Amino acid sequence: MKKFINKIDDVLVESLSGFSSAHSDLVSLNLEPNFLTRKQKAANKVALISGGGSGHEPLHAGYIGYGMLDAACPGHVFTSPTPDQILAAAIAVHADKGILFIVKNYAGDVMNFEMAAEMLPFANELPIESATVLTSDDCAVVNSTYTTGRRGVAGTVIVEKCVGSLAETGADLQACKALGDKVNSRTASMGVALTSCTVPAAGRPTFDISDTELEMGVGIHGEPGRRREAMREADAIVSDCVEAIITDLKTRAILTANTCEALLLINGFGATPLMELYLIYNTALKLFNQHGIQISRSLVGNYTTALDMAGASITLCLLDDEIKQHWDSPVHTAALRWGR
Predicted local distance difference test score (pLDDT) of residue 62: 98
Which element (helix H / strand E) includes 286? Answer: helix 274-290
B/e letters for 15-43, b = 16+ CB within 10 Å, e = fewer, are bbeebbeebeebbbbbeeebbbbbeeebe
Q: Clarify whether residues 155 and 257 are in a common domain.
A: no
The answer to whether residues 134 and 21 belong to one domain is: yes
Q: 245: domain CATH number?
A: 3.30.1180.20
pLDDT of residue 240: 97
Same domain, yes or no, for 303 and 210?
yes
- At residue 148, the pLDDT reads 64
According to the model, what pLDDT value does residue 142 have?
58
Domain that holds residue 33: 9-185
Residues 179 and 227 grouped into a single domain: no
pLDDT digit string, tens, across residues 152-194:
999 999 999 999 999 999 999 999 999 999 999 999 999 999 9
- Give the number of domains in the chain: 2
Task: Judge whether 56 counts as a catalytic residue.
Answer: yes
- 293 confidence band (pLDDT: 50, 70, 90): very high
In a domain, 4, yes or no: no
- 41-92 per-position pLDDT tens digit: 999 999 999 999 999 999 999 999 999 999 999 999 999 999 999 999 999 9
168 & 262 share domain: no
Residue 10 has pLDDT above 90, yes or no: yes
Position 319 scores a pLDDT of 97
One of 23, 76, 94, 221 is an active-site residue; which one? 221
Same domain, 160 and 24: yes
pLDDT greater than 80 at residue 281: yes
Exposed e or buried b per residue across 145-173, where buried means at least 16 C-beta atoms within 10 angstroms of its C-beta: ebbeebbbbbbbbbbbbbbbbbbbeebeb
Q: Within this chain, do residues 13 and 110 fall inside the same structural domain, yes or no? A: yes
Q: Is the pLDDT of residue 16 over 70?
A: yes
- The verdict on residue 58 lying in a domain is yes
- The pLDDT confidence band at residue 101, using thresholds 50, 70 and 90, is very high
162 and 250 fall within a common domain: no
> Is residue 76 a part of any domain in this protein?
yes
| Residue 274 pLDDT level (bands cut at 50, 70, 90) | very high
Q: How far apart are CA 295 and CA 318, in angstroms?
A: 9
Q: Catalytic residue, from 56, 60, 76, 94: name it.
A: 56
- DSSP assignment letter at 225: -
Residues 170 and 47 in one domain: yes
Specify whether 17 is located in the same domain as 145.
Answer: yes
Verify whether residue 221 is a known catalytic residue. Answer: yes
Q: Is the pLDDT of residue 147 over 60?
A: no
Q: In the listed set 185, 207, 241, which residue is the last one of a domain according to the structure?
A: 185
Domain check: are 199 and 305 in the same one? yes
- Report pTM: 0.97
- Tell whether 207 and 148 lie within a shared domain: no
